[in-house]
Amino acid sequence: MPRRARKHAISGIYHVMLRGINCQQILEDKEDNLKFLQILKECKLKCGYKIMAYCLMGNHIHILIKEESMPLGEVIKRISIRFVYWYNTKYQRVGHLFQDRFKSEAVDDETYLFTVIRYIHQNPVKAGMCKNPGDYPYSSFREYLWQQNLVDIDYVEQFISRKTVVKTSNEYVAEECMEIQKTRT
């Protein structure tokens, strides 16, 4: 059966999720998380995309990304190949690291953009990994609080103020965006 085509985002903005094969951990320690962020930053310079939010969750990764000069599929392929090569070398393993192809959903309006940013920042709180989004070290929330590093906050502020992102990311809202299915298919 052929794969279903991805829905094209008129805005060029996508909520992307990469999940570990068999739901396994893909980010084992601090070094793994920092390496993934380094690769994300290096690929950003080469591929010319914008990042509005991210969260590294151990067995899956969320990225809110705007494609620019390079198509989304090529961008994610570059990121994932570089990380898998590094990971497999570090852990002396071979084979796939990510389950299937990456998942993505189009983000074509400001309301949903706001919802996805909040959802991504609340992910570690909902998973019981911390009490507040600012306590979690591998999410873009801290960039909205203090210092921009990887996130294109200036771009986001065309739609939502930094202050609003911080305030609402700290307010628990039971919303779902591209939830990870609990059952295996």
Tokens of 130: 């911390």
Q: Is the pLDDT of residue 136 over 80?
A: yes
- The mean pLDDT value for 7-18 works out to 89
Cβ partners under 8 Å of residue 120, min gap 6: 15, 53, 54, 55, 62, 64, 139, 140, 177
Number of domains in the chain: 1
Note the pLDDT of residue 64: 96
Note the pLDDT of residue 79: 96
- The mean pLDDT value for 1-22 works out to 81
Does residue 36 lie within any of the structural domains? yes
Does residue 178 lie within any of the structural domains? no
Note the pLDDT of residue 2: 54
Q: What is the CATH number of the domain that holds 124?
A: 3.30.70.1290
Does residue 2 lie within any of the structural domains? no
Does residue 183 lie within any of the structural domains? no
Structure confidence at residue 182 as a pLDDT band (50, 70, 90): very low
Residues of the domain holding 20: 13-169
Q: Is the pLDDT of residue 185 over 50?
A: no
Does residue 182 lie within any of the structural domains? no
Does residue 158 lie within any of the structural domains? yes
Does residue 175 lie within any of the structural domains? no
Q: Is the pLDDT of residue 75 over 90?
A: yes
Cα angle, residue 21 at apex, residues 116 and 42 outer, rounded to 5°:
60
Does residue 4 lie within any of the structural domains? no
Note the pLDDT of residue 5: 63
At 82-108, the pLDDT tens digits run: 999 999 999 999 999 988 888 999 999
Q: Is the pLDDT of residue 3 over 70?
A: no
* Separation CA 169–CA 124 (nearest Å): 11
